[in-house]
Structure 1
């Protein structure tokens, strides 16, 4: 007698609960034909391609092992429907002898098989960039075609270096339905045009549709020239549709100011100030070169993360200048200010850390003005690094001098501290 089969909804729920257990998923795929497709979908949904492990002693005496990429391509050749299950792809470059992206012929063949990918990530396994010029022409062409997919909605590129802005702009001409774009450690050394990239553009079909981007992240050590490329007429990225923006600010304030003026529909803004930033030069800039949030009246959440070292310029005057650019009533409801502080040992002078907020009262006055009537909460968090001593966070909150009478009176200020060293 044939046993009744489980409802498809229950099968999906069972397999979904096992999505992080590939060995059990493989067993599920062997249960029956009804379990095969949903199990394969979870097994192949997210693919990460990393460099091969270094050869071990006497490896040549053993049977040569297939690479993960070779095994995957073989599986797709045997069962072509597997390619339709792949939704997320991450490619990781290796170091030195393990570098493989530029000379792996299977890689661009693999990219050509993928028609349903929605998320793509390319990064280096170390803090060193992948040179665009070192990649083969065949891989570049297939990568550009892959990025032009109408289903691709999220791209994350990290540790890439370009000698020419035109080569980078070529990447930005591809996406047509992108929603999330993340750049991290992108280097563009020159703003001139490299004519060698023209043949690549001739071999890729670019969609006339512009991508209505919702989220943009410009991570640490990303060249400000990236902004100029994003705003270039050739770019397929529509910045005006942005809702969420995160920027790690370098000293080229003018480019970031241009980006903020263009993204006038923002709802969430995150600004990261690196420890080597020169805030003193910001006050000397003409007004067009400064951040002006009067163009961003729809922002509801503002987050400012500050990496503080003991000799850095006081960032609070800069923060007050930024908040003062709201010249009309706005929709800002939540403000998060996160300080990353390295505290000296308990027996050393800690006044440089505890007295750094002497200018906070000016911010307190600004935020309790009529421009910020919609403000619900200001959360000030201290991320403390101190390898010596216990109970650092409570003691720091007792020592810090934070004058904020108006925000405290309206019960809108929350102050917290966290010890990150343990």
Structure 2
């Protein structure tokens, strides 16, 4: 075959460009033996274990993956990223019922093979997620419950969470005992650089105020942190702790309710104001404290009902010595372009001092027809001539978020 005469480096480059195209990787592996090694590396680098469509089906996807590892043990060393989906829209569960039964407990709670799969893998990234609308999961009722999990699976997961090789962890849809227990999962993961936590629930509220022990180390040096939490309103305060070093964090995403003033600002201050990319959800512009505008900030993305009020706050309150390159304001619901004269009165005189600014993007997630959106976008541009005239303004229509957790993550 022609490909047999080509340098292996060229063949590897071809496969590198197809790294996320599984059908093409499969076709290449079947076409010639010289493609097999590179195709296999890319095909098994990321593995996703889906829930069984029917909880009574056998073998389920996890069992089939275990069978593959048993018959081809060399594959285990190729897996770098593992995603475990607890439940999704295709899962054949009784989603609308009120009684709790075995058919609506996440499959991992009854499965015996995941605890056999995990020890074979030396992962860089692990994700455990549930992929359903928020309404199906009030208070974590159908999430994976850590304390009710099989002991062998808990042990296998703890070994992964504390692995010196692990670089990223993503948890969505899990019930744990307390904030302290949640943070303890990763306390020994010295290579961990990225944590994403969303839709987590605490089973013992009495333990919520247990701070991280003063003499116990927390080894991760995070560069990226996401917390999406509308249930445990003050979880972020547990991250503001001298033993939890957040000074390396460059990307911070927060979608929380704030019941105690100042914790968002304290969390940003705990990063030594080193955050370069900030994303947060806010109900209104009234809780926008200028202290969140840390000096190293290069991009900020706000999801709010008051996007134009936020825009005024930015241009009125942001420090003069700024590296800010991109401002994204995203809103849903009824977001009228109110007070165009007031907008320009604030922004016009101040925009020149944003010397690094390259883009101000207004994203609308309004449920409008195309004609209505076009009219709305024209009104935005007319209200912001100083941004439009400098080529800084972009007005885009964003899809209505099916799942707010996905929207943030």
TM-score if structure 1 supplies the norm length? Answer: 0.74
Corresponding residue of 2:219: 210
Matched, 1:381 2:365: no
CA offsets 1:68-92 (integer angstroms, 9 cap, x no match): 2222222222332211000110101
Q: Quick one: distance in 2 between partners of 1:48 and 1:364?
A: 47
Report the CA distance between 1:222 and its aligned residue: 6.2
Partners of 1:419 and 1:145 in 2: CA distance: 40
SS in 2 for 1:172: coil
Q: Residues 179-190 of structure 1 correspond to what in structure 2 (within 5 A)?
A: 179-188=193-202
1:280-331, Cα deviation, whole Å (9 max, x unpaired): 5x48xxxxxx55136x21112222222x3xxxxx565566556655455222
Q: Counterpart in 1 of 2:44?
A: 44
Match of 1:200 in 2: none
Which residue number in structure 2 is paired with residue 11 of structure 1? 11
Question: 2:308–2:337: 8 Å Cα contact kept in structure 1?
Answer: no
Q: Which moved more, 1:27-36 or 1:263-272?
A: 27-36
Preserved contact between residue 394 and residue 417 of structure 1 (Cα < 8 Å): no
* Residue 332 of structure 2: aligned partner: 340
* 1:302 counterpart SS class: strand
Provide the secondary structure at the position in 2 that maps to 1:241. coil
Question: Residues 30 and 333 (structure 1 numbering): CA distance in 2 closer, same or farther, change over 3 Å?
Answer: closer
- Of residues 66, 69, 82 in structure 1, which corresponds to 2:75? 82
Contact 1:293/1:325, CA 8 A, preserved across alignment: no
Alignment correspondent of 2:266: 258
Would you say the 8 A contact 1:300–1:333 is kept in 2? yes
2: CA distance between counterparts of 1:244 and 1:321? 22
Superposed CA RMSD in Å reads: 3.6
SS at match of 2:184: helix
- Alignment match of 2:117 (pick from 103, 106, 110): 110
Aligned to 1:396: 376
**Cα distance change, pair 190–258 in 1 and its aligned pair in 2 (3 A):** farther
Superposed, which structure 2 residues align to 1:292-331 within 5 Å? 292-293=291-292, 296-306=294-304, 308=305, 314=306, 316-317=308-309, 320-321=312-313, 326-327=318-319, 329-331=321-323
Match of 2:239 in 1: 230
CA distance in 1 between partners of 2:65 and 2:252 (Å): 36
> What is the CA–CA distance in structure 1 between the aligned matches of 2:280 and 2:68, rounded to whole Å?
44
Residues 191, 304 of structure 1: alpha-carbon distance in 2 compared, 3 angstrom cutoff: same
Find the aligned partners of 1:3 and 1:242 in 2 and give their Cα distance. Answer: 46
Distance 2:375 2:227 in 1: 35
CA distance in 2, matches of 1:170, 1:3: 51
Shifted more, 155-164 versus 375-384: the winner is 375-384
Deviations 1:334-366 (A, max 9, x none): 322233344xxxxxxxxx723266653464168
- Give the paired residue count: 369
1:72-126 Cα offsets, whole Å, 9 max, x none, are 22222233221100011010113551622122221112111111x2121101233
CA distance 1:325–1:242, shift in 2 (3 Å): farther
Alignment partners' CA distance in 2, 1:321 and 1:272: 15
Q: Which runs of 5+ in 1 are unaligned?
A: 57-63, 195-206, 284-289, 309-313, 343-351
Determine the structure 2 residue equivalent to 1:346.
none
* Correspondence for 2:168 among 154, 172, 180: 154
Return the alpha-carbon distance in structure 2 between the equivalents of residues 172 and 52 of structure 1: 29
Cross-structure match for 1:135: 149
